[in-house]
Amino acid sequence: MHSSLEDVLSRYWGFTAFRPLQRAAMDAIVSGRDSLVVLPTGGGKSLCFQAPALVRPGVGLVVSPLISLMKDQVDTLVANGVPAAFYNSAMTPDEKSRVAAGIREGRYNLLYVSPERLAGEGSDSFLAMLDRGGAARDSGPPVGFIAIDEAHCISQWGHDFRPEYRQLGALRARFGGVSLHASTATATARVRRDIVAQLALERPLELVGSFDRPNLVYRVLARATLKRQLEDVLARHRGQAGIIYCSSRREVDALAGWLAGNGVRAVPYHAGLDDGERHRHQDAFLQEDADVVVATVAFGMGIDRSDVRFVVHAGAPQSLEHYQQESGRAGRDGLEAECVLIYSGADFLKWRVMLERNGELTDARRTLLREMERYAAGVGCRHRHLVSYFGERYAADDCAACDYCLGELEAVSEPVVVARKILSCVARVGQRFGGGHVANVLCGSDSDQVAARGHQRLSTFGLLKEATVAEVRGYIEQLLAEDLLRQTGDEYPVLALTPAGVDLLKDPGARPDLALARQRRPQKDRVPKRSRGEVESWRDVDRDLFERLRALRLAIARSRGVPPYVIFHDTTLREIARVKPTSVDALRGVYGIGATKAEAFGPQVVAAVVGHG
Ligand code: ADP
């Protein structure tokens, strides 16, 4: 009767093995036990509820918060040959009646719907349709199981609470005997508990995966000349997809304009643009008409483009949870990608001021900000830091995929001496100036400000003249994170000493553990070391052929009216450009090519390989 999960995996998706926890998650659905799956973005959550729908009887209902998300997933499923559809209020009457007919005929294995469709008022007619579909299939129950995607939306403790998700509390009563399966990328225990309670999950199997993303390379830069820093990142990713997050709409517009003026295919995205424009820009990115989106955090959920090769934050987010979520949009295809945080201490001050103004500056929020700051100014392995923050142990000594482990940071040989020079300079300028001015004085630079204040006559003038201003600013950030300095003031942040800072000035032995680091000075022609993942994933790949295949993918996608990543992931294209299959049969063995895709695109792909020689 029904095929096994292994068969389904290879026939429809072209995958040969399960990712961690996928098998257990699928078994829970097949056996009808409630479950909660927590995996990071890119961990393969969707497959956990998609594959079982092809194995067990009844339609699998998937609750999804966004229409764009539904459409994307369904496009991907259909391209893989899976009978799937979505049903929502944004469809035209024609589309609606077509899908409704399909439901009544029991044609779909998977059906994506909004929460209100299943649990809201007026859901009765929809349920009646499902019943007819069940009868038409003539076997088993109409509904096999219900999967709740992005389940954290049900929790006020999550980062994206959606009131309409609350209605899902009614599912249990409404669908007696149907198992419920929640999935989310939000790792905190509180959100997890909330999901279980709100959905009334019964004895759920809880599967929590590792939150490490080994294919992501993390880098942190103290903000100096932002445009120069961005240029460096972009130079490593010419023609590749990326997201640049900014903290203000004004900055989004300015940077997007600047990039476009420099020949980068960049579009802005923020809540201040009108709906039409926002959609056009998002689509341009998804359809590969644009490479880079410059955005506020309004841009995010529902961005399923899997080949995002870099995510830059031009400003610190308000928590590591946010950072994990936003930077996690890079490299969902499992290939190497880069996450760069460009920050300054002023970012945190801005957050505090903003949260305070909104009456939201609770102790919890302060702690979250501090933790974010500690990450930013931290000197150590970034993977370890992130993973430990989310409550996991990190086993490897060297991640080989962050600025620290790649040797891009250099420990300062006498951190306490440097720290004391900076602290005393802050004291000398009367604790009335910001980081830029203090750094100028320490570096002995004759800025107008310095001259105007007569600060070139201070004993601390030029005390760190062997360092660059950017480096000194970096040290200042680290001292802020170490709680030796603090920032006060609103629009123009001013540096002041903390009690711990005063102690260190009095007693050089007060902080024996203090470490400071700086960005290693660029040597001529130095290219940053590549992560192990990057080296591996390009091994033996014919890059010209890869680019040619990308163009072919784009053409196929255009002709079908779907985004290119729905056709093939980069992982698949790289493997084709490595293996160079010259027959459709040979192509079947390639990662990510199931029966439907081999048949639909095989001849074109093989022709491209053969034509390339
Ligand atoms: P999530 O929803 O957890 O963010 P997705 O379900 O989008 O993750 O999966 C991320 C990527 O990993 C997708 O491109 C998907 O096709 C791929 N993937 C999922 N499971 C497997 C697997 N078992 N083998 C290979 N690739 C997989």
Distance, in Å, from the CA atom of 48 to the CA atom of 36, rounded to the nearest integer, reads 11
Q: How far is the CA of 607 from the centre of ligand 1 (A)?
A: 28
Angle at 154 between CA 300 and CA 212, to 5 degrees: 55
DSSP 194-233: HHHHHTT-SSPEEEE-----TTEEEEEEE-SSHHHHHHHH
Average pLDDT over residues 110-127: 87
Helix boundaries (H) for 539-612: 543-560, 564-567, 570-579, 584-587, 595-612
Angle at 196 between CA 191 and CA 197, to 5 degrees: 95
The pLDDT confidence band at residue 1, using thresholds 50, 70 and 90, is very low
SS3 595: helix
Q: Is the dihedral of CA 357, 359, 362, 365 positive or negative?
A: negative
Average pLDDT over residues 553-571: 92
| Closest C-alpha residue for ligand 1 atom 5 | 44
> Is the Cβ atom of 186 under 6 angstroms away from ligand 1?
no
447-481 residue pLDDT tens? 888 989 999 999 999 999 999 888 898 899 889 88
Q: How far is the CA of 359 from the centre of ligand 1 (A)?
A: 40
**Burial degree of 373 (CB within 10 A; 0-12, 13-18, 19+):** buried
Nearest to residue 302, comparing CAs of 82, 114, 78, 65? 65
Residue 367 has a pLDDT of: 84
> b or e along 251-268 (b: 16 or more beta carbons within 10 Å of the residue's beta carbon)?
bbbebbeebbeeebebbb
Q: How far is the CA of 380 from the centre of ligand 1 (A)?
A: 30
> Is the Cβ atom of 305 under 6 angstroms away from ligand 1?
no
Dihedrals phi, psi of 124, to nearest 5 degrees: -60, -45
| Closest C-alpha residue for ligand 1 atom 18 | 44
**Total residue length of the chain:** 613
Q: Is the pLDDT of residue 266 over 50?
A: yes
The pLDDT confidence band at residue 526, using thresholds 50, 70 and 90, is low
Atom of ligand 1 nearest to the CA of 9: 23
Atom of ligand 1 nearest to the CA of 47: 6
> Is the Cβ atom of 470 under 6 angstroms away from ligand 1?
no
Residue 303 has a pLDDT of: 74
Angle at 183 between CA 177 and CA 189, to 5 degrees: 110
What contacts 568, CB < 8 A, 6 or more positions away? Answer: 549, 553, 592, 593, 597, 601
Q: What is the pTM of this model?
A: 0.82
Residue 411 has a pLDDT of: 86
The pLDDT confidence band at residue 260, using thresholds 50, 70 and 90, is very high
> Is the Cβ atom of 229 under 6 angstroms away from ligand 1?
no
Q: Which residue has the tokens 């040959």?
A: 81
Question: Other C-beta atoms within 10 Å of 11: how many?
Answer: 15
> Is the Cβ atom of 593 under 6 angstroms away from ligand 1?
no
> Is the Cβ atom of 33 under 6 angstroms away from ligand 1?
no
| Closest C-alpha residue for ligand 1 atom 15 | 44
| Closest C-alpha residue for ligand 1 atom 26 | 15
487-521 residue pLDDT tens? 887 667 899 999 999 999 999 999 999 989 888 76
Distance, in Å, from the CA atom of 72 to the CA atom of 54, rounded to the nearest integer, reads 19
How high is the mean pLDDT of the chain?
90
Question: Other C-beta atoms within 10 Å of 135: how many?
Answer: 12
SS (H, E, C) 302-351: CCCCCCEEEEEEECCCCCHHHHHHHHCCCCCCCCCEEEEEEECHHHHHHH
> Is the Cβ atom of 565 under 6 angstroms away from ligand 1?
no
> Is the Cβ atom of 47 under 6 angstroms away from ligand 1?
yes
